[in-house]
Amino acid sequence: MASNADKIVDALKAVVKLALCQGFTKISFLVCDHIKYIKKIQSANDSELHVIYTAKKLFHNAEAYI
C-alpha cells in the first residue's frame, strides 16, 4: 500500500506531465515549483512528516491537513 507521500508525489508528477503536454515549458513556474515539491518530499528524512509539516503550514486547521 502506497504511503500518503507516495500518492502526493504521484499526483505532482501527473500534474507536471499534464502541464508539459498542454504546452507549458520546462522552466515555467508551475513545472519548476511542482518538481521542487517532489524533490523536497523525496529527499526528506521522513517524507510523511515532511508532508504533514507542509500541510500544517498551508492549512491552519487540523481537519484540512488530515
What does each of the 66 residues of the chain score in pLDDT, given as a tens digit? 678 899 999 999 999 999 999 999 999 999 999 999 999 999 999 999 998 888 888 887 777 666
pLDDT of residue 1: 64
- Total domain count for the chain? 1
Amino acid at 13: K
- Give the residue numbers spanning the domain of 61: 4-65
Cα 21 to Cα 5, 15, 41: the distances in Å are: 24, 10, 24
Q: Which position has the grid cell 521542487?
A: 36
**What residue type is assigned to position 20 of the chain?**
L
What confidence score (pLDDT) does residue 66 get?
A: 65
pTM: 0.83
Cα separation, 24 vs 31, whole angstroms: 8
